[in-house]
Structure 1
Amino acid sequence: MTQFIKDYVSSCQQCSRNKNIYHKKFGFLKSLPIPNGPWICLSMDFITQLPLSNSFDSILVIVDRFLKMAVFIPTMSSITSLEVAHVFIKNIFSKHDLPSFIILEQFLCIYVSYNQDDWNTWLPLAELAYNNSDHSSTKQSPFFTFYGRDPQFESVHIAQDTPAGKLSTKFQSVQKDVKRELEVAINRFKRYAYKSKESLPVFNPGDMVWLSSKNIKSTRPTKKLSERWLGPFPILKKVSSHTYHLKLPYKWKSINPVFPISLLEPVRTSTIPNWHQGPPPPIIIQAEEEWEVSQILDSKFKKRKLWYLLEWKGFIQDTERSTWEPAKNLKFFP
């Protein structure tokens, strides 16, 4: 009886659509390919909504993925793509040539909180402090990797009561702040990156999976009461170890059919004989109910109008499985 109940609950489609998944998310982090040299592959990101400093409210962060060296460029959140191109040419292309790959990614804002309204003034110092910190991947600082030596500002002795001395003291404070926050960020990343993940399942073409409704707009009044999982949908092909191409209904053609494995859940089939779970709920598209057609069985003319005999996907009983429908009802099907 216990096994029967487990089988029934795990394969219940209505339960699968509406219940939360309690296992850890699929998929460990997958690293990007290692570049062949410096300034070939760059990552870019904007840190926005910062306190206004000398007319700037954003930072363009460009990181070389080989050296781990970063460039911090003050800018405005209203910057256009053409202006970004000019900034890139001035700060990167003129010094390091054109990269082969550019990756947009998120970057942790670790510095501005220490210097609210004058961060633009200290941004170059923060950049040097970042580049002078040992990276966990290379075990040395990006500055040393690129120049073959460490910066020599620590060996310079300046009287503390002079303007230059005050600037030097401020710089050392900035460097300590950045290094401390970098260490906190690295430790936090290590602690949580794998804590909430589990190993990947392997799907093959033809396997049925549930698709998370997390990023799919629902026509129901409240998202909280909507189905958590849609489908099931068959897998057409494996794009990579972390992404799959699904066969979606034709009216979902505006949705990219390639999804990360973190949004998929395998369909568990039941071993209970002669168990009929009933037809699947309709697919809501543009506030209209639509069912998915399995195949067209026949056609005929009725009162000079074309009709098709359709077999509906998911229906078991003969009285529900196939019906005659006018051709106009199929105009959105491929």
Structure 2
Amino acid sequence: MIVGLPTSEGFDAIFTVIDRFSKMVHFIPTHSTASAIDIANLFMLYIWKLHGLPRSTVSHRGPNFNAKFIRHLYKRLDIKPTFSTAYHPQTDGQTERIQREVEVFIRMFGNHRQSNWVSLLPIAEFALNNLKQTSTGKSPFQICYGMNPQFTIGQKLDETVPNADKHAEFLEKGYDKVKAALSLAQEK
């Protein structure tokens, strides 16, 4: 979980979930005070419907992941929890790397107060899931859906709607910048 963020749309943390098979990432805005029950509910609302229940998880030893509630729930659902070693978060290096990339993304593309990061999460998630992974040779979208989603502006129309055209161009330029920045970060 990424904590210590400036408040954006009432949230101050990001619950990060990565599917270890496909490398698909999910960024869910939440609160740094989220309880174990809150985290379990976020998982059910945003992750379970897409990936089902995991066989195992890797997480840090924070109170919301190591609480009696989560331990009991995992036992009931036959999920094997693995926790990163205290002061050695590299146990979950994949998540640590992705979280660093998202923090850089927020700093690069957020407003001067970094208070609009919630609205940037879908773009970051889309870009990362559309990026070819070195470990698999495919993007998470390709692994999960057999293809990368299209993200290009279509043909120019005879009729113009300036706000719609402006918004489409903003999305495409933003996506191109994000993809370039993430590719560069991945090479390092």
TM-score with structure 2 setting the length: 0.67
Residues 274-314 of structure 1 show CA distances to partners (whole Å, capped at 9, x for unaligned) of: xxxxxxxxxxxxxxxxxxxxxxxxxxxxxxxxxxxxxxxxx
CA shift for structure 1 position 102: 0.9
Conserved 8 A contact 1:63-1:71: yes
1:112 aligns with 2:67: no
Q: Which of residues 124, 129, 132 in structure 2 aligns to 1:126?
A: 124
1:178 corresponds to? 178
Contact 1:67 1:146 in 2 (8 A): yes
The verdict on how the C-alpha distance between 1:112 and 1:136 changes in structure 2, with shifts beyond 3 A counting, is same
Q: Give the 5 Å matches for 1:245-324.
A: none
**Coordinate RMSD, CA, aligned:** 2.1
- In the other structure, the counterpart of 1:239 is none
Greater share of helix: 2
Larger Rg: 1
Task: Give the alignment partner of residue 21 of structure 2, picking from 59, 62, 66.
Answer: 66
Residues 83 and 52 of structure 1: CA distance in aligned 2, closer, same or farther (over 3 Å): same
User: What letter is aligned with 2:51?
Assistant: H
Q: Is the CA contact (8 Å cut-off) linking 1:158 and 1:164 kept in structure 2? A: no
Number of residue-to-residue matches in the alignment: 143
Percent identity over the alignment is: 34
* Pairing 1:162–2:162 present: yes
Could you give the per-residue CA deviations for residues 65-87 of structure 1, whole angstroms, max 9, x where no partner exists? 11111111111111111100000
2: distance between equivalents of 1:140 and 1:74? 27
| Most deviating of 81-90 and 171-180 | 171-180
> Relative contact order (alpha carbons < 8 A, sep ≥ 6): 1 or 2 greater?
2
Relative to structure 1, the CA distance from residue 117 to residue 95 in structure 2 (aligned partners, 3 Å threshold; closer, same or farther) is same
Gaps of 5+ in 1: 1-45, 189-334
The equivalent of 2:136 in structure 1 is 138
Unaligned ranges ≥5, structure 2? 60-91
How far off its partner does 1:155 sit? 4.8
More strand by percentage: 1
Checking the alignment, whether the CA contact within 8 Å between 2:153 and 2:168 is kept in structure 1 is no
Does the 8 Å contact 1:53/1:120 carry over to 2?
yes
Contact preservation (8 Å) 2:3, 2:32: yes
Checking the alignment, whether the CA contact within 8 Å between 1:110 and 1:181 is kept in structure 2 is no
Secondary structure of the equivalent of 1:98? coil
